[in-house]
């Protein structure tokens, strides 16, 4: 039997420990306490960050509020905002290697992938800059000769941005430039697991000339930093990416102030394979979707729904391709899949697989920890689980690891039912050479994004987000930009044509 392809450790000298500080009102601040991040791949401390509390969070929110109310950014021209956003894009591209290396050390993702994400994020900043200059409201001149109505789009205010550990720089760039393009001021809290690339973003914003207080960064934990960012009266909106459970908690916590909440949460995304599909292309996309970012991706295609007539053949293709995916040291440029973020999460993944087997599923490949020479067991094998039925927990539960669950179908109706049969609705995919099949599926799938004959292609112009318990609101694209805007109607009377309401008494 062919063995898995594993890259052993090639690490020689790691960089010095990165020292992360808060960025509040245009100044860098140390913390009274610090916390450390140990690399999941290499087992050494790679960052030491200031630990924020109530005082730092309140200072950051107050700075963002002052900056917004002053108009230094909220009333700046679209041209001025765009100029700084474009400068940030240039600075990102000039600093890709430094940012990507630190993100790889903290997250465990492959260095090649990290470089692609960091460099690709620059395009999000450029697109957001275009929106800063092109956004506009509406006018209504059909209300009568003496009336004119204007609908304005204005920045919503102070925005709390809370980002996850799996794509820290990329997801920050799905939120921050769009909020800034709209004229908002922000407070950012990165995950305590991967804080450093956000600090590096703060350095780039400072270099680009962003006014003090417009973007503030507080490092720390959900309690108290994230909690206060979600409940503070001076915050007008919270945008969060992460687990559905935490998203629900933020929604509940923010209800007391009725602030706007935008959420991008979990997913149990399906790729549906019909018999007339190009099976080679589909199998490659399924393997990519299952193992990209070690499956620690809300958009992971962790469910394969395959037609019964081709199921055995297609499973064999997926298993064979899975063996060729290169797992190993994230610092090796040839590595495609790196480490699991924490030992605790690795144990959770293994427990989910074991529970599936106990429920009657069959392991076609993997199903255990992966020992990478020189790096240990902070990895998990590519795992393919067949014989999954809709009643099994693994059919609807987000494993968040390199684990593919396989279900079978016979008709389009059954495929749609299986696809929609979870509490999630982030994305879905369909593979068929028949355009009618693809369109019928796309129309009926309960998902924020549906891919046909591809997987995880994305563009700054296209909105991203989910339905059901995968979230609310949208990110990127013009629809994502609109999340940071409030609508104001201005009604103007032309001339002194308003009739008096109070009637004067006649003497």
The whole-angstrom separation of Cα 194 and Cα 177 is 20
Is 298 a residue of the active site?
Answer: yes
Which letter, b or e, does each residue of 56-84 get, where b requires 16 or more Cβ atoms within 10 Å of its Cβ? bbbbbbbbbbbbbeeeebbebebeebbbb
Dihedral sign of CA atoms 288, 291, 294, 295 in order: positive
Is 264 a residue of the active site?
Answer: yes
Q: Residue 153 pairs with which residues in a beta bridge?
A: 487
Active-site pick, 184, 215, 298, 438:
298
DSSP 125-153: HHHHHHHHHH---EEE--S-TTEEEEEEE
DSSP E strand boundaries for 308-397: 326-328, 362-365, 369-372, 376-380, 383-386
Residue whose structure tokens are 């687990």: 243
Active-site pick, 264, 446, 475, 483:
264
In terms of Cβ atoms closer than 10 Å to its own Cβ (0-12, 13-18, 19+), residue 85 is buried
Is residue 88 within 8 A of residue 125, CB to CB? The reply is yes
In terms of Cβ atoms closer than 10 Å to its own Cβ (0-12, 13-18, 19+), residue 205 is buried
| Structure tokens belonging to residue 446 | 């309960």
HEC states along 253-294?
HHHHHCCEEEEECCCCCEEEECCCCCHHHHHHHHHHHHHHHH
The whole-angstrom separation of Cα 344 and Cα 104 is 19
Is residue 379 within 8 A of residue 371, CB to CB? The reply is yes
Catalytic residues: 264, 298
């Amino acid at each position: 039997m062919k063995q898995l392809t594993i890259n052993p450790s090639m690490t020689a000298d790691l960089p010095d420990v990165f020292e992360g500080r808060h960025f509040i009102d245009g100044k860098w601040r140390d913390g009274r306490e610090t916390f450390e991040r140990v690399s999941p791949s290499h087992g050494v401390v790679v960052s030491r960050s200031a630990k924020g509390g109530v005082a730092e969070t309140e200072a950051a929110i107050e700075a963002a509020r002052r900056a917004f109310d002053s108009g230094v950014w909220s009333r700046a021209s679209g041209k001025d905002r765009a100029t700084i956003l474009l400068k940030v894009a240039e600075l990102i591209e000039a600093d890709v290697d430094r940012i990507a290396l630190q993100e790889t050390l903290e997250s465990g993702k492959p260095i090649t992938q990290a470089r692609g994400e960091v460099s690709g994020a620059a395009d999000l900043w450029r697109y957001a800059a275009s929106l800063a200059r092109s956004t506009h409201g509406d006018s209504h001149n059909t209300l009568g000769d003496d009336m004119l109505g204007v609908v304005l789009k204005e920045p919503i205010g102070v925005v709390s941005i809370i980002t996850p550990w799996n794509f820290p720089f990329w997801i920050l760039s799905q939120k921050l430039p769009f909020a800034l393009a709209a004229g908002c001021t922000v407070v950012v809290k990165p995950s305590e697991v991967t804080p450093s690339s956000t600090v590096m973003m703060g350095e780039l914003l400072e270099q680009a000339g962003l006014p003090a207080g417009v973007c503030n960064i507080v490092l720390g934990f959900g309690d108290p930093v994230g909690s206060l960012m979600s409940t503070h009266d001076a915050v007008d909106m919270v945008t969060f990416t992460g687990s559905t459970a935490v998203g629900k908690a933020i929604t509940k916590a923010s209800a007391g102030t009725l602030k706007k909440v935008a959420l991008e949460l979990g997913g149990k995304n399906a790729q549906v394979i019909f018999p007339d599909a190009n099976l080679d292309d589909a199998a490659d996309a399924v393997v990519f979707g299952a193992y990209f970012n070690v499956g620690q991706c809300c958009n992971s295609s962790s469910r394969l729904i395959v037609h019964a007539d081709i199921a055995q053949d297609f499973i064999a293709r997926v298993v064979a391709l899975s063996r060729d995916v290169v797992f190993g040291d994230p610092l090796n440029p040839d590595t495609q899949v790196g480490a699991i973020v924490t030992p605790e999460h690795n144990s959770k993944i293994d427990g989910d697989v074991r529970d599936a087997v106990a429920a009657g599923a069959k392991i076609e490949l993997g199903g255990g920890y992966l020992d990478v020479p020189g790096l240990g067991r902070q990895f998990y094998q590519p795992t393919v689980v067949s014989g999954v039925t809709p009643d099994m927990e693994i059919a609807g539960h987000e494993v968040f690891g390199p684990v593919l669950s396989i279900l079978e179908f016979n008709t389009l109706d059954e495929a749609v039912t299986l696809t929609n049969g979870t509490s999630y609705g982030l994305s879905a995919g369909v593979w068929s050479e028949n355009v009618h099949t693809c369109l019928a599926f796309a129309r009926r799938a309960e998902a924020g994004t549906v891919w046909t004959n591809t997987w995880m292609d994305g563009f700054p112009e296209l909105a991203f987000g989910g339905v059901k318990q995968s979230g609310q609101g949208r990110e990127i694209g013009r629809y994502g930009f609109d999340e940071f805007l409030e609508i104001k109607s201005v009604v103007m009377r032309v001339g002194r044509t308003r009739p008096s309401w109070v009637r004067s008494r006649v003497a």
